[in-house]
Amino acid sequence: MGTANTTIDEQVAYLFKGTAETITEKELRQKLVTSQKTGKPLTVKVGFDPTAPDLHLGHTVLLRKMKHFQDLGHRVIFLIGDFTGQIGDPTGRNKTRPPLTREEVLENAETYKEQVFKILDREKTVIDFNSRWLAALSSQEWIGLCAKYTVARMLERDDFSKRMAAHRPISIHELLYPLAQAYDSVFLKVDIELGGTDQKFNLLVGRDIQREFGQQPQVLLMTPILQGLDGVEKMSKSLGNDIGIKETAQEIYGKVMSISDPLMWNYYELLTDLPQNEIQELKLNVESGSVHPMKAKGDLAFSLVSDLHSEQAAREVQEQFTRVFQQGEEPQEMPTFHVQCGGRPVALPDLVAQVDFASSKSEARRLIRQAAVSIDGEKIPDPSYRIDPKQRPAFILRVGRLRFGRIKLE
């Protein structure tokens, strides 16, 4: 979708899909009109602090919105907060976040650069690092920046006020985080900043600081927080309710098929480009019984695997899912794992983690308790279960819906 043959109303409707709040729509329209008249693209910024090595589908909500601006011909900056990541964003924290080392931040940043182009257009994306200007600020310039905002306004933010009321400490460096993020927008002369609804305070500080520097305040587009697979908590790797961008096609497809029917519509809205009226029509068809919910969920899983891998991979995993899950067959091909155990019994969580069917032993135990692990077709719900190689030297291990492996204990 380009801007040449689309009206401002059409552009706004395209950008508003999956958006929770805009500050302000009037300013957004004015900026879009000016851009269309002058032919000068808008500068759109999204900041990501590389606090963990892997991105998940919750992050792609923002990445997709960035892609929408790229589709309209605007300049999109994927800003890696290698400087702010060392401060630690206080958003949603009831205590001071432990800072990351410079080495940890840079290592995570490299993995981000690999992952984001599963969604974004590589040729149209500007990647920048905010240490480029924040690390270069002198002590005098930092003092000048701090002078442009008051402590009273900073302490109005929900995270800080709750910690003050609970007599929990707030470190001085945490007060610098919103100012540093705001200065990013000043330095880059940002027209529009995107972020989750949980970032509203930080984004608003950016508008205030831009005014202080004599710039037009940035428009804010905020996206909802994506719920995790449990349909309750925010998607988070630490909670184990996430779908990682780097996961295999089989894992992504299987996890999407495991979500509840109500959650499916939230994912359709935030993780696909299907127009809102078509999503509503599909929902009505499911409610009326003319479309089976498994069919709608399968189409969603196919779309997400296509985005993160390829259409061919999505087709293959969909066929496998039909054979394995709906027809009860085992996959024709599965990997074989030779596990060295020295003739001693092996703890099931250790085995599941060792063959990479779970990211950790704790996740393996969680999957076992959820009855998602079986041996030769028998579900094992006991995390303390041990396999004796003398009684069972070889077997088929299944974890979740689509992860199969032939295990040989040696």
Counted domains in the chain: 3
Q: Per-residue pLDDT tens for 274-332?
A: 888 899 999 999 999 998 988 999 999 999 999 999 999 999 888 888 776 655 555 66
In a domain, 167, yes or no: yes
Residue pair 49/84 in contact by the 8 Å Cβ criterion: yes
First to last CA, the chain: 57
Domain shared by 149 and 184, yes or no: yes
Residue pair 67/121 in contact by the 8 Å Cβ criterion: yes
Q: What are phi and psi of 43, to 5 degrees?
A: -95, 120
In a domain, 219, yes or no: yes
User: What was the pLDDT predicted at 325?
Assistant: 64
Q: Per the structure block, which two tokens stand in for 19? A: 């958006």
Q: Which helix (H) or strand (E) holds 219?
A: strand 219-223
Residue pair 352/394 in contact by the 8 Å Cβ criterion: no
Q: Per-residue pLDDT tens for 20-45?
A: 999 999 999 999 999 999 999 999 99
In a domain, 234, yes or no: no
Place of tokens 């009109």: 33
Q: Which of 326, 348, 382 is the last residue of a domain?
A: 326
Q: How far is CA 202 from CA 44, 170, 174, 180, 220, in A?
A: 16, 16, 12, 10, 11
Domain shared by 287 and 384, yes or no: no
Q: Per the structure block, which two tokens stand in for 223? A: 């996206």
Max alpha carbon distance in the chain (Å)? 77
Q: How far is CA 355 from CA 104, 390, 398, 403, in A?
A: 26, 20, 11, 11
Q: What CATH number does residue 312 fall under?
A: 1.10.240.10
Domain shared by 355 and 397, yes or no: yes
In a domain, 240, yes or no: no
Q: Per-residue pLDDT tens for 242-275?
A: 888 888 888 899 889 888 889 999 999 999 988 8
Domain shared by 191 and 55, yes or no: yes
Q: What CATH number does residue 207 fall under?
A: 3.40.50.620
Domain shared by 142 and 193, yes or no: yes
Domain around 185: 8-223
In a domain, 179, yes or no: yes
User: What was the pLDDT predicted at 330?
Assistant: 59
The DSSP output letter for 323 is I
Residue pair 359/312 in contact by the 8 Å Cβ criterion: no
Domain shared by 88 and 149, yes or no: yes
Domain shared by 315 and 369, yes or no: no
Domain shared by 317 and 341, yes or no: no
User: What was the pLDDT predicted at 134?
Assistant: 94
Domain shared by 97 and 77, yes or no: yes
With a cut of 50, list the residues of the chain below it in pLDDT: 92-94
Q: Which of 169, 188, 223 is the last residue of a domain?
A: 223
Query: What is this structure's pTM?
Result: 0.73
In a domain, 237, yes or no: no
Q: Which of 263, 294, 326 is the last residue of a domain?
A: 326
Domain shared by 173 and 151, yes or no: yes
Q: What CATH number does residue 359 fall under?
A: 3.10.290.10
Domain shared by 202 and 312, yes or no: no
Domain shared by 42 and 162, yes or no: yes
